[in-house]
Amino acid sequence: MANELRDFLTSRRAALSPQDVGLPAATTPRRVQGLRRAEVAILAGVSVDYYVKLEQGRARNVSEQVLEAVARALRLDDVESRYLASLLQSGQPKGAPAPLRARPALQSMIRAIDVPAIIHGPHLEVLGVNHAGKALLDDFDSMPVAEGNTARWMFLNPRAKVVYRDWAEIAADVVAVLRASPVSESLSRIVGDLSTRSAEFAAMWADYRVSEHQHGVKRFFHEAVGDMRLNWQTLRLPDGHGQTVVIYSADTGSPSEEKLRLLNSWTARPDGAASPAESGTVHQES
């Protein structure tokens, strides 16, 4: 991941000017945008040679103090700092990937609620989705396992641009969340595949944004009920190996709440049977 580390740090340097970090303004033209390596080294309190080695992925056993100093120099937020730490970890996971499953109790929990809910693996694998989630988004359990991934769906499935009114904004957020996920062979495969199949993904990946799913509001569209404005909240599972649950809901008494209720009732399965995804979708974890 040396190239990834270099490109990330270079992008963060390019986003800052000397004035942004309290350094004197340049008096001569600069060949590159943003801070020079030497300026980052000064701000971090390390030698220029050491910082160059770090940016090129040649520094070994980087201390927590140096990591924090570089993060401060580049004005990284908490998510970006954690991402930098993950890039500095040497080596890739070894051995065959282990099956990644959502716990049966977790599957039962999302089936028991009447608002959309989806279980994600560490790289946005869809490990479970309840009936309301399939009605709102898509029937992930009918897809091949390799395609059951929110990032793949966002860029390769035309339905995503129908569902999300603000697709470009949401897609950029998905890319930023994917970049913040654990560095692994699985992530490399997903990124490589999407980069070759979607020019939009490739362009957004090159922005080097890093983010985490937390909470917010999104605008949705469904042919049966029209536009909806839904709140979303991400729940991180303790000891869940990077799994999260995203739950969508509408403000009480709002038109969106009524539309969501109607959508769930109109698309309900008459037999009440659990779909394959509701029984526990299996993915491979790196």
Lowest mean pLDDT among 39-43, 148-152, 166-170, 251-255: 39-43
Q: Is the pLDDT of residue 271 over 50?
A: no
| Domain assignment present for 94 | no
**CATH number of the structural domain spanning residue 175:** 3.30.450.180
> Average pLDDT in the 180-198 region?
90
pLDDT on residue 1: 55
> Average pLDDT in the 9-38 region?
81
- Tens of pLDDT along 22-32? 877 766 677 77
What percentage of the chain reaches a pLDDT higher than 90?
51
pLDDT on residue 261: 93
- Tens of pLDDT along 114-165? 999 999 999 999 999 999 999 999 999 888 887 899 999 999 999 999 999 9
Are residues 158 and 31 both part of a single domain?
no
Distance of CA 261 to the CA centre of its chain: 29
**CATH number of the structural domain spanning residue 32:** 1.10.260.40
> Average pLDDT in the 181-200 region?
90
pLDDT on residue 200: 97
Are residues 142 and 241 both part of a single domain?
yes
pLDDT on residue 204: 95
| Domain assignment present for 79 | yes
- Tens of pLDDT along 90-125? 544 444 455 578 889 999 999 999 999 999 999 999
Are residues 225 and 259 both part of a single domain?
yes
Are residues 127 and 213 both part of a single domain?
yes
> Average pLDDT in the 73-88 region?
88
Rounded CA gap, 267 and 99, in Å?
31
Last residue of a domain, one of 88, 121, 150: 88
Dihedral angle over CA of 268, 269, 273, 277, nearest 10: -70
Last residue of a domain, one of 59, 88, 117: 88
Q: Is the pLDDT of residue 270 over 60?
A: no
pLDDT on residue 2: 65
Are residues 136 and 252 both part of a single domain?
yes
| Number of domains, the chain | 2
| Domain assignment present for 95 | no
> Average pLDDT in the 71-93 region?
81
pLDDT on residue 281: 47
| Domain assignment present for 93 | no
Average predicted confidence (pLDDT) for the chain: 85
Q: Whole domain around residue 252: which residue ranges? A: 100-285
Q: Is the pLDDT of residue 72 over 50?
A: yes
pLDDT on residue 97: 52
Lowest mean pLDDT among 48-57, 135-144, 264-273: 264-273
Rounded CA gap, 259 and 162, in Å?
17
Are residues 37 and 133 both part of a single domain?
no
Are residues 22 and 105 both part of a single domain?
no
